[in-house]
């Protein structure tokens, strides 16, 4: 979203106890009409995963100030005792003279160098079982899905919700982090061992900061949930937020999660957070401590788990992309971008995400068609895969329902993604055309190689799509494209463009380029 800077304060933020779905904690200001590749852009991003506030203030003399930090209203007030100290989150600033695209590439490079753990390693192709099974899961069902996923070339198999406690719906079980004995009689280890035997890593879903009233944990410790004295406890998604400002809550979470990761060969944890704060408080506790303490103790818990289990990767999820910021990204390996997995909608979501964050952390799912969750839109496997290949490729469909021809085609897309993955996840991103209904495209460049992903939402009047002008190439070099069978001069690709040949509705293509010499 772009808006004009006006006199006075323009404020964005979150009062929800987490980063929030409405805004990333980031702003960018252009000087005198910067474009994607030209002009000055000033931007700032906050490294904090709790409530936050960023204000852009234009003074009467025209000077513009940007301020940002944790907290919002009273939840940002911290009273320090004599001799005590507190470290405020980093509020990073960046200037680019190469437009919004140049600012994005600088932010991406900064995060890969200084923020993201193990950022120089590519993330694996992931399969998640949630949309195939929902809450109705069994060990044998997961084994069958794992075999199908392995046949596609998947590298990481993740069991989502409902493997633990009495979790048969979203009304029960949160907080009881032990495998359900009816569904997994031998615990998670037998399934994890089979997944490893199939050549994949093994992962699970957790939501440690939450509790269902219908759980053993809540029945034993109802006082562990956030609660404002004198108010009824408000539930959302049938759950409450645990009070991480309590030492006994933090000790319980550490004991349960450490035992879970020690007791089974788990390689990946999808860490969810589905409920905003509404009752932040604790009887007998003074001030707004739960607001800022929750984020700090979350960081401490993640840091401690990563130190104790360095081989385990983590993903941040929050009802979709509700907790994506520089603070959480310094502690996780990737983030869940949005619960909206419609491939056409995702082009706009991914376009916005890329303004600040690199493809290396952007999880993107291929799901079933028609898209049942939101709009019933039908799209081809080609369009769904090419959309998801713009980030960390994940698959979240019910593979048991896919035909043999669909499975074979999916294997080809996975193989292709693995070829271009180093460029997508580690290369420089150029947004060639925004997703505005017609032809859109992005390009990744790394060393002598480049790849273009292009999508056509709809073709009007049968018109052939105009060539897409590429960027970041050597104009004096020649580039071979195995996908068109042609060899092009870099100058031609950058000035005249690449013809994609896309047509119809919801078409997509992948175009690889390799420098083969200089003219």
Active site residues: 272, 339
Strand partners for 395: 127, 366
The 10 Å Cβ neighbour count of residue 462 is 7
Measured CA angle at 389 (ends 387, 391), to 5 deg: 100
Tokens representing residue 206 in the block: 């957790």
Distance CA 72, CA 66 (A): 16
- Cross-strand partners of 13: 53
Name the 3-class secondary structure at 211: strand
Per the CB < 8 A criterion, the answer to whether 357 and 111 are in contact is yes
Buried-state track 287-311, b at ≥16 Cβ within 10 A, e below 16: ebbbbbbbbbbbbebbeebbeebee
Sheet order of strands, 40-46 included: 26-31, 40-46, 91-96
Q: Give the bridge partners for 309, in sequence order.
A: none
Contacts of 220 (CB under 8 A, 6+ apart): none
Encoded tokens for 286: 């003074």
User: Do 478 and 519 contact (CB within 8 A), yes or no?
Assistant: yes
Element holding 398 (H helix, E strand): none
Q: Which residues contact 400 (CB under 8 A, 6 or more apart)?
A: 132, 144, 145, 148
Instruction: Give the pair of three-digit tokens for residue 248.
Output: 């006994």
Measured CA angle at 423 (ends 419, 429), to 5 deg: 145
């Amino acid at each position: 979203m772009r808006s004009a800077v006006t006199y006075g304060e323009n404020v964005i933020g979150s009062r929800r106890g987490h980063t929030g779905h409405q805004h990333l904690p980031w702003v960018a200001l252009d000087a005198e009409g910067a474009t994607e590749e030209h002009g000055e852009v000033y931007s700032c991003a906050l490294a904090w995963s709790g409530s936050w506030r960023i204000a852009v203030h234009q003074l009467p003399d025209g000077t513009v100030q940007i301020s940002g930090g944790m907290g919002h209203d009273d939840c940002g007030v911290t009273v320090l005792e004599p001799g005590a100290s507190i470290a405020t989150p980093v509020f990073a600033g960046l200037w680019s003279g190469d437009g919004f695209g140049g600012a994005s590439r600088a932010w991406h490079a900064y995060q890969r160098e200084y923020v993201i753990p193990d950022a120089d390693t590519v993330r694996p192709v992931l399969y998640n079982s949630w949309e195939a099974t929902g809450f109705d899961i069994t060990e044998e069902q997961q084994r069958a899905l794992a075999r199908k996923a392995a046949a596609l070339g998947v590298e990481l198999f993740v069991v989502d919700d409902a493997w633990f406690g009495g979790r048969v719906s979203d009304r029960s079980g949160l907080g009881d982090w032990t495998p359900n004995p009816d569904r997994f009689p031998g615990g998670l280890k037998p399934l994890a061992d089979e997944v490893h035997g199939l050549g994949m890593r093994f992962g699970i879903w957790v939501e440690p900061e939450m509790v269902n009233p219908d759980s053993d944990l809540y029945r034993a410790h109802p006082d562990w949930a956030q609660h404002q004295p004198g108010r009824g406890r408000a539930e959302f998604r049938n759950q409450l937020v645990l009070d991480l400002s309590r030492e006994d809550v933090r000790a319980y979470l550490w004991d349960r999660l450490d035992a879970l990761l020690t007791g089974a060969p788990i390689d990946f944890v999808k860490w969810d957070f589905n409920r905003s704060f509404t009752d932040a408080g604790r009887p007998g506790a003074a001030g707004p401590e739960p607001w800022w303490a929750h984020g700090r103790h979350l960081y401490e818990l993640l840091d401690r788990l990563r130190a104790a289990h360095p081989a385990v990767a983590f993903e941040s999820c929050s009802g979709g992309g509700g907790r994506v910021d520089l603070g959480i990204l310094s502690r996780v390996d990737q983030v869940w971008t949005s619960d909206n997995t419609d491939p056409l909608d995702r082009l706009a979501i991914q376009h916005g995400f890329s303004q600040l964050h690199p493809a290396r952390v952007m999880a993107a799912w291929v799901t079933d068609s028609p898209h049942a969750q939101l709009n019933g839109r039908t799209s081809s496997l080609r369009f769904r895969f090419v959309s998801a290949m713009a980030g960390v490729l994940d698959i979240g469909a019910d593979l048991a329902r896919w035909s043999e021809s669909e499975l074979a085609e999916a294997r080809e897309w996975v193989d292709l993604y693995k070829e271009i993955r180093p460029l997508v996840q580690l290369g420089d991103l150029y947004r060639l055309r925004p997703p505005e209904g017609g032809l859109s495209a992005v390009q990744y460049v790394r060393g002598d190689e480049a790849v273009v992903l292009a999508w056509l939402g709809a073709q009007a009047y049968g018109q052939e799509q105009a060539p897409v002008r590429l960027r970041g190439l050597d104009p004096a070099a020649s580039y071979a494209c195995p996908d068109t069978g042609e060899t092009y001069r870099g100058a031609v690709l950058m000035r005249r463009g690449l013809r994609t040949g896309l047509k119809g509705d919801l078409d997509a293509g992948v175009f690889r380029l390799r420098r083969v010499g200089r003219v």
